[in-house]
Amino acid sequence: MSYLDVKVNQLKSEGLYRVLPINEGPCEAVIKFKGRRVINLSANNYLGFANHPRLKNAAIEAIEKYGIGAGAVRTIVGNMDIHEELDKTIAKFKHEEACVVFQSGFACNAGVIQAITDEHDLIISDELNHASIIDGVRLSKASRAVYKHSDMEGLESILKEKRDAYKNVLIITDGVFSMDGDIAKLPDIVKLAKKYNALTYVDDAHGSGVLGNSGRGTVDHFNLHGQVDFIIGTLSKAIGVVGGYVCGSEASREWLLHRGRPLLISTAMMPAAAGAIIEAFHMLEESTEYTDRLWDNARYFKKKLKAYGFDIGHSETPITPIMIGDEAKTIEFS
């Protein structure tokens, strides 16, 4: 494929070509890289759960009971009782009516957004929303509009201009924005949604396990339980395993089990992953030890970076961007 060779060579000439780094052991605070032990500042394993003994034991127990794979999609015979337990565990933890788990956070956004909207609807999205939201919106038949990052006047302007032309309007935002670490103005978004009879959709991939009581997320952080229609989360970041989920009403769960394409055409989550995830939520319920340590470490890290003169933006969360200012130099720096 010579045309791809040309594209790859162009990346190299622009200094944008990358070689996949190889971690020679588990994802921990210190990893083995190129034969050396180095401090890991690049993972999203917020709470250190990815190699936690309790999660590993839970995964092993699930393998011994259920085997390696689910063997089918959830709508045929791949829906095991451990998947049902996982859905209920997350719903209870998030203080929501129902939950359904997907194979990944990306698959969740890609599947949910297109399932809950159609050609008569409008999606309004923050300009800095995650790539999986952007792709999910592209897969939808709905019309779309984008407002400047966290600009509530801009959001209201779109609502005021366009609301009456559509059957449903869905406002989508990240809970915590993954590049800069700032938190969505969720109370203002919910207020506008109520004013203009719109639905709300929060991707809390970087808020779950980090913000709120015991890591319950951005919705809990702002005490907005029952006021956000769709709460998305990932199970690969703070939870340390793999997967995604959506919490909301029982009706939303029922609809997604019929129209959520990743659930319908892709094999269900491995039982080992489900078992480990359930254990992770039990650990968050038991103690704030892990979230407390995360925040203590983040505050210390930011303080020291500032002391050394680094520009770390205006993060409100443990996400700590370091502003380099040049893409090629950033790749080299990392």
Q: Is 21 left (phi over 0), alpha (psi -120 to 50) or beta?
A: beta
Active-site residue (options: 132, 140, 178, 208): 178
Q: Which amino acid is at 57?
A: N
Catalytic residue among 140, 206, 221, 252: 206
Query: Which residue in this structure is represented by tokens 């030890």?
Result: 289
Q: Nearest to residue 94, comparing CAs of 263, 199, 249?
A: 249
CB of 154 closer than 8 Å to CB of 141: no
Marked catalytic residue, from 83, 94, 221, 237: 237
Tokens, residue 87: 């859905």
For residue 165, what are its two tokens? 């032309």
Q: How many residues appear in the chain?
A: 334
**For this structure, is 206 an active site residue?**
yes
Q: How far apart are CA 8 and CA 223, in angstroms?
A: 48
Closest CA to 107 of 277, 265, 275: 265
**Catalytic (active site) residue 237:** yes
Nearest alpha carbon to residue 127 among 105, 143, 149, 145 = 149
The residues that are catalytic are 178, 206, 237
